[in-house]
Structure 1
Amino acid sequence: MTGRPLVQVLIASTRPNRAGEPTARWVAEQAAAGGAFDVEVVDLAEIDLPMLAEPGHPSERNYQMPSTRAFSEVIDRAEAYVFVMPEYNHSYNAALKNALDHLFWEWRGKPVILVSYGGVAAGARAAAALGPVLISLQLSVVGFVPIPLIDQHLHLHDGRRLFRPTEPIEHSLAKALDALHRAVQPRTV
């Protein structure tokens, strides 16, 4: 352990050829570059949670399914999150909602940055729709990075899709990461 807070960059999309994977890699690189955080990428496509089927409420934290117990351990170790999320049909995607619904205490009271992407609206409608869910889970949004016209930021390089931000997107993420760093620092009186 380095003593730095662990920030998990969660890839919300599970689709093949998704824009979220190269975008999340870029976000993770930026978060790690400043040296303020340890960074871990959590890919919901790899986690592969079934649709919520736990018999008890997540607030009981009495998980019966091995997939939920494993997911709980992963999410619980982070002190903050960055959700890299698509906008589908003017809202957030089902895989993100399912992941959030699986747990309660693991998310509670932690700061999060929302990096949303889509078309012209840049995922803003998805971020807005997610707001009540985050309030219920007591996650605190400390930054928002909207990425419009996501396809214009994705480029092939040596057979790998890469995300290329504009200067405003870079600046927006830097400000959000600064806010995240402040949010995870111990408060002094």
Structure 2
Amino acid sequence: MGYLQPGEWNTHHAQGRRFRSLGNAERTLPAEHVPSPGNGSRALEIGCGLGELASTGYTVDAVDWSETALEHARAGSPGRADVRRLRLDIERDDLTPLEENTYDLITLRLTYAFLGDRIRVLHDLGSRLREDGAIVVITPLAANTPAEKRDIALDEDEIRLLSAGWEQVRRFDADGLALVRPA
């Protein structure tokens, strides 16, 4: 698949092509290991696709660079006042709509492998976390991914690079995916 451009992602979603649906472990692990939503809790979902991680309890900023994906997400949960959907290229666009020190939780589900400048993006996103907030990366592992799709997966060296600079890392198996977050 490689690295698609915004127009290609629109086509990808318009053709009904989807990534893996949210699995059981992906639903339960974050709830067990990230800040619990409370009054005023905010989450930022990067590469939201159909918005499956827009969880109740959080006010969510759902970001994708495919307008088609955002349209599908809107259709799947119309009128949700607790979800703001934004079309942004998280690497290249002005991130002013994403305020600093605002989010309790930032998720990157099945999107990390598609980022070119991963270290800069994680640093930029980290500045948007409230104190004690968490960034959660859910990504396919190369060891569990067929050879023809390895370009969307991370190997163990890339997982180590992902967490470089974090004082502590917590890693969990999410149905064959890695769920990684600072401890």
User: Normalized against structure 1, the TM-score is what?
Assistant: 0.35
- Rg larger in structure: 1
Structure showing the higher helix proportion among its residues: 1
